[in-house]
Amino acid sequence: MRNTIRNFVTSPTFSGTLLLVAAIIALLWANSAFLGSYEALKNLPISIAVLALDKPLEAWVNDFFMAIFFLLVGLELKREILTGELSNPRGASLAIFAALGGMIFPALIFAGFNMGGVGAAGWGIPMATDIAFAVGVLSLLGARVPVALKIFLIALAVVDDMGAVIVIAIFYTSKLDPLMLGAVAVVYAALWGLNVARVKILPVYLLLGLVLWYVVYKSGLHATIAGVLLASSIPMQKETHQPLEQLESWLKKPVNFLIMPIFALFNAGIPIAAASSGGVNQITTGVFLGLLLGKPVGITFFSWVAVRLGLAQLPKGVTWSMMFGVAILGGIGFTMALFIANLAFKGNTVLLETAKLGILGASFLMALLGFTWLYFATKQGKPESLPQDEI
């Protein structure tokens, strides 16, 4: 029994469950008589005078804690590119095409409802997939899911995250400070200097990483970009993967079991009655349909085209029905979608809350639909695949 509990607590299922519980707590808290205490916690001022940093607690969560989340994403991405699924051109191409479709279609759907309107800046919101939540749902199906399908979902989510990072860096940055951008370049060059010199002492990289976070934040780029930059500079040996895998191992538990639930607690709490009466329902509709329709259709269609043209191939043992189930799970936006919504509608509570309403509604629905679809698609004795010449 003790081993069973330990295995559950350290599994992707538990991290996804924890994320869901944190979101439910936030929703209940924000829609109770204690809304005032919830807002007071989010707006609790925390300052570091010597660094001229004065931000509410929610901003520290979104800017600093999420930089650590993006550090882990960057490490996973680097490992996948160098030695993982993305190092195989055929495997990588399927994930890349799938991710592209899963970003383009939702953005177009959102733009169709909001082009030229007050919510136009939110086009990037439904583009992202929540890797922890999606993998957590898939893990609930246990051994009936082919290992290759799990690997594809992770590769898809990693490429999707990379796309989200690029979108954030290019489209969701504030006014840039040339002097601080120069400082970013200097610190980043120093990190790569350590890498080239084969320095493998992680604390040295992490200390410079803190400096990098500060100058990135002051430069006008979003502070979380520092996490990805730092990750790219961490050395990785082909045989042992040290020290990249060591840092990745250190970060997984605090990110999955602490940082992401805290992020959900601070960002998923919306007063539903107020959000649904905001008078800008095209934002909610655009986000909801972008995730509900754009994600599964975009991922499946682009994957089919890539396979049909011979640019990619389905993973071994994976059927098109399973692929569509994973595409549905791709519609779980949650963490990344909430994060981009905060950037798109920063300072506008009404627009932000209506966007969050679409994110939460679609994410919970897609988790349920994805689980149900895959439960039947992976049912033993009922193969779901179609001959590729009939697709």
Question: How would DSSP label each residue in 175-243?
Answer: ---HHHHHHHHHHHHHHHHHHHTT---HHHHHHHHHHHHHHHHHHTS-TTHHHHHHHHHS-B-TTT-TB
Q: Summarize pLDDT for 277-318 with one digit per residue, the tens.
A: 555 589 999 999 999 999 999 999 999 999 999 999 888 889
Q: What is the pLDDT of residue 13?
A: 65
pLDDT-based confidence at residue 10 (cuts at 50, 70, 90): low
If one compares 337 and 131, the residue with the highest pLDDT of the two is 337
Distance of alpha carbon 195 from alpha carbon 208, whole angstroms: 12
Could you tell me if 228 and 73 are in contact, meaning their C-beta atoms sit under 8 angstroms apart?
yes
pLDDT-based confidence at residue 44 (cuts at 50, 70, 90): very high
CATH node for 16-21+58-173+222-380: 1.20.1530.10
Quote the radius of gyration of the chain (alpha carbons, Å).
21
Closest CA to 61 of 78, 80, 33, 41: 41
* Token pair for 231: 């990750």
Residue 309: how many other CB atoms lie within 10 Å: 9
Q: Summarize pLDDT for 353-378 with one digit per residue, the tens.
A: 899 899 989 998 999 999 999 999 98
pLDDT-based confidence at residue 247 (cuts at 50, 70, 90): very high
* 35: Cα within 13 Å, side-chain hemisphere: 12
* Token pair for 95: 């994930």
Q: What is the pLDDT of residue 301?
A: 97
Q: Summarize pLDDT for 154-192 with one digit per residue, the tens.
A: 888 878 878 888 888 888 877 788 899 999 999 999 999
* Token pair for 366: 């897609």
pLDDT average, residue stretch 85-108: 87
Could you tell me if 100 and 302 are in contact, meaning their C-beta atoms sit under 8 angstroms apart?
yes
Q: What is the pLDDT of residue 328?
A: 96
Could you tell me if 127 and 107 are in contact, meaning their C-beta atoms sit under 8 angstroms apart?
yes
> In the chain, what percentage of residues exceed pLDDT 70?
90
Distance of alpha carbon 340 from alpha carbon 122, whole angstroms: 8
Average pLDDT, the chain: 85
Could you tell me if 132 and 12 are in contact, meaning their C-beta atoms sit under 8 angstroms apart?
yes
Q: What is the pLDDT of residue 381?
A: 40
If one compares 382 and 9, the residue with the highest pLDDT of the two is 9
